[in-house]
Amino acid sequence: MSDCLFCRIVAGEIPSTKVYEDDTVFAFRDIAPQAPTHILVIPKVHIPGCDGVTAENSALVAHIFEVIPAIARAEGLTGGYRVVSNCGPDAGQTVPHLHFHILGGKPLTLEMA
Ligand code: AMP
């Protein structure tokens, strides 16, 4: 989608600090980190959010969950980390492109996104 921020990041139209990329997945550092390590993992294809996950695209989400621990290992998050996906306005989703936050690098409070 040409007007989607994260689609434009995948396309290289908006700069990002990439930490991982393969054929279907892209990961980059959050511009406003809420923890020492804060990475966003997204499908390259536009899926609006968790509500957009279907039988047709759920294999991609499964792949993302294989990528996440690999990124966490590469980032040295040996003490653990949190994975968050906000879905919809009540959850605070601000970018309508499915994304998973990886948060870590210190003990996290429950208030943390
Ligand atoms: P959410 O609020 O769950 O939709 O998460 C969106 C995240 O995208 C927030 O944590 C923002 O800080 C982050 N974000 C917004 N614009 C950018 C950008 N250009 N590069 C990296 N992260 C961004």
Task: Give the other-Cβ count within 10 Å of 1's Cβ.
Answer: 12
- Ligand 1 centroid from CA 95, angstroms: 7
Q: Is 88 in the pocket of ligand 1 (CB under 6 A)?
A: no
CA of 93 to the centre of ligand 1 (A): 9
Annotated active-site positions, please? 99
37-93 per-position pLDDT tens digit: 999 999 999 999 999 999 999 999 999 999 999 999 999 999 999 999 999 999 999
Q: What is the pLDDT of residue 1?
A: 73
pTM over 0.95: yes
**Ligand 1 neighbour 97 (Cβ under 6 A):** no
Helix (H, G, I), strand (E, B) or coil at 86: coil
Residue by residue, DSSP assigns 10-23 as HTTSS---EEEE-S
Please list the residues that pair with 27 across neighbouring strands: 20, 41
- Contact assessment for residue 70 and residue 50, using Cβ atoms and an 8 Å cutoff: no
Joined together, the tokens standing for residue 106 give: 């210190």
